[in-house]
Amino acid sequence: AKQGAKMLLSASKLVMLSEAFPTFGMGYVRRREITPGELLKVGDGAERNSIVLSALTHPPEACKLRNYELSDIPAPLRARLAHWAAAAQRPKRVLVLVNPTSGHKRGAQVWAEASGLFALAGVSATTVHTQRRGHAFETVLRADLANLDGVVVVGGDGTVNEVVSGLLANRRGVPGQTASIPLGIIPAGTDGTFVKFVSHNSLLKATAVILGGKWGHDRLPMDLLSVRGIGGEERLAAC
């Protein structure tokens, strides 16, 4: 950090204070705050004993990936920062279902941008690009959910519906027990009517919620309506 900079660390917040000197006028103090869920990585800086804090700010504030380089950071403080960031308890292993044809074939491109943030945060993502209708449902139905911390959908309403149906059908071999696992949505569809109610239209905002761990702001329960036809076919709808 520049001369005069200070860093205050509490259980829930990191506050950085630094002196800024504009070209004209008096100097002022710049204040930056980061929560554990926003801090994706504590990396090496360009100079010896320097570090780079990579943070993805959460909604409702402007969501942006920011890098803060701090100098003269002793090893014990760096270790403490890394331990502090781990308190976010973000998912470690997720299954990602990408619909490459969503939103005029934008799905693959959207995930290509978001996947870099998952890697930066140290989240292992097993990615499946759907190839046909029903592929997402079949994949989630066969998935070993016990070894996953969450499922992520990159697509529109149709893909989300398949994944939710697959989660409900995946009972881990125990009759009457539906699998319960966090579901994250990164919108990539044309309209995304359902996604608008449970996620964010912005790629960065949606990703920030998923990577925020227990510090995320938008983790909500969801009610589902199940309708079964005479032939036994079941359809689901969000309530």
218 in catalytic set = no
Catalytic residue among 149, 157, 191, 223: 157
DSSP-derived secondary structure letter, 63: P
- Residue 232 corresponds to which tokens in the numbers above? 């036994």
Rounded to a whole number of angstroms, the distance between the first and last alpha carbons of the chain is 49
What is the C-alpha separation between 87 and 214, in angstroms, rounded? Answer: 9
The Cβ-side half-sphere exposure at 219, using a 13 Å CA radius, reads 16
Q: Which of 130, 129, 121 is nearest to 90 (CA)?
A: 121
- Residue 231 corresponds to which tokens in the numbers above? 């032939």
- DSSP codes joined into one string, 7-62: EEE-SS-EEEEEEE--SSS--EEEEEEE-TTTEEEEEE-SSTT-EEEEEEPPTTSP
Contact 4, 71 (CB under 8 A): no
Q: What is the dihedral of CA 43, 45, 51, 52, to 10 degrees?
A: -60
> Which residues are the active-site residues?
157
